[in-house]
Structures are given as structure tokens and as C-alpha cells.
Chains A and B, each alone.
Chain A
Amino acid sequence: MKVNILQWHAVASWTWDAQDETCGICRMAFDGCCPDCKLPGDDCPLIWGACNHAFHLHCILKWVNSQTSQAHCPMCRREWQFKG
């Protein structure tokens, strides 16, 4: 007997390849989305700082924009720089 695969439809889940599971700002799962987004993934991406801490892009932008002076990383208080 020989088995011919005619179609194999597999299932996977995606996940952000990050150290943490949740965003330190909104406390939502990275694999979920920030409070302002409806769809996870491409629509609500993660962003890493030079310090290697990750946040929802929308969350860290809100933080950076709320600071009058130089913003710091919410996790380590180092000056926030987007990872190039």
C-alpha cells in the first residue's frame, strides 16, 4: 500500500518572538493587541527599543509622546531609542 497525500491542511498559531508575554504598558498580551486596536498581528505590531524591551508600537508611542522631555524606557528607564 502507498499513501498519497492529496492535501495537508495544517494549523499553527503565531506568536511574537519576544522575551515577555505581555506589554509592560497596557498589560495586554503581545499576541493580543493594544487597547486601541481591534485586530492583533500586523495591525498592532511590536517595537523594540535599543534596550531590547518590547512594547506594542501604539503603547510606546503614546508614552513617548506624553513625555515633554526625553522619554525613558518604561521598563529600565534608559533613554528610549527605537531599535534600528
Chain B
Amino acid sequence: MVDFARVQKELQECSRDVERSGIKVSPKGDGSLARLIGTIPGPTGTPYEGGTFQIDIALPDAYPFEPPKMKFTTKVWHPNISSQSGAICLDILKDQWSPALTLKTALLSVQALLSAPQPDDPQDAVVAQQYLKDYQTFVGTARYWTETFAKKSSLGIEEKVQKLVEMGFPEGQARTTLEAVGGDENLALEKLCSG
């Protein structure tokens, strides 16, 4: 049985400093806390900068005594992340898991992984090869993937614009604001509201 009290606490803690960390975890929306969606911003100074990456999180029954299962749903070009399945190769999500870790710390580790690829222990051999042999091409591809898959347009932006328009904001303003915050509707609303 998942310790939902802890999950709930984690969600609250996480949302408390979402502005600072940019890391967000929210329920997938099927009424259960066992399926979550994590969001991390691409680290600055990396080819992932400016992108927003979504990570599918499934909590095993024994959580937090077993690690959460995480994989990217946003396509990403990275030696330790499968360009096909989004599977992540990260020790703390495997044998190095500790119950003292949280979803947020795990996502922070994933974010750190984006900053510091480990081509020696690859998940995606093709990417790892490119990283080691042709770093410039790797950076270009990674950046291109970020532009293509991890920017706001890929996240159902129209729906969000519509939602804000329904609340009474002018469409143009809603759109620019959404873009400015990387497509996060809550952040957009906050920004719109604080004028």
C-alpha cells in the first residue's frame, strides 16, 4: 500500500517552492495518487534550456521503500535517457534509492542528470556514441529536440489559452503570458492576476 499521507505531504512541499525550483508534481487526474506527472525545467547552460520536460511517475505499492518508476514523456536527446521510450538510467531510481529521498529530490536528480550526462553508463547507446564522438552534433540535436518537443507548443497550449479566456482574460494577453511562463497555466494565471 502506497503511503499516501506521505505522497500528499510531498506534493504540498513541492508546490510550496515551485517558483524557486521550477519542479512540479501533480496527480495524473484519475483520482489516485499512485500516478503522477512531474515537470522539470531544462537546466540553464545546457541544450535543454528553455524546455519543459514531463516525466511520468508511477508509485509502487511499497513506496517509499521502493523507488518511484519514472520515465520521460517528453522526448529528449540524452545519453542516459532512451530517445525511444524515455526510460531513465539513474542509480537513485534503482539500487541507490533511499526512503529519505522524495519525488522532488528524485526529479532534481533527473534535472541534474540533464546537466551532467554520464555517457559511460548509457541508456541510449546511439546518443552516448554521438556525445562522445561528435559533441557539437549532440548539442545541436539535443537543442533541436528541446525546441521541437519541450517547448510550450507541445503541451496543449490551446486548451490552456481557452481556459484563461473563459475566465475573462483577453486571448492575446493569455497567450503571451502562457508563453512567458513556459505554458504553465497556474503560473500564467498568477502572473495575469498580479497584473
Are A and B subunits of one complex? Answer: yes
Interface residues of B in 1-45 (CB under 8 A from A): 3, 5-6, 9-10, 13
By size class, the interface of chain B is 10 to 19
Taking the complex as formed, is A38 at the interface, i.e. its CB lies under 8 A from any CB of chain B?
no
Please, how many residues of chain A have a CB less than 8 angstroms from a CB on the other chain? 14
Chain A interface SS verdict (over half): loop
* Across-interface contacts of B5 in A (CB, < 8 A): 26, 28, 35
Taking the complex as formed, is A59 at the interface, i.e. its CB lies under 8 A from any CB of chain B?
yes
* A62 and B6 within 8 A (CB): no
12 more A-B contacts (CB under 8 A) besides A35-B5, A74-B99? Answer: A24-B99, A25-B64, A25-B100, A26-B3, A26-B5, A26-B64, A27-B6, A28-B5, A28-B9, A59-B99, A66-B65, A66-B66
Binding site for B on A (CB under 8 A): 24-28, 35, 59, 62-63, 66, 72, 74-75, 77
Binding site for A on B (CB under 8 A): 3, 5-6, 9-10, 13, 62, 64-66, 98-102
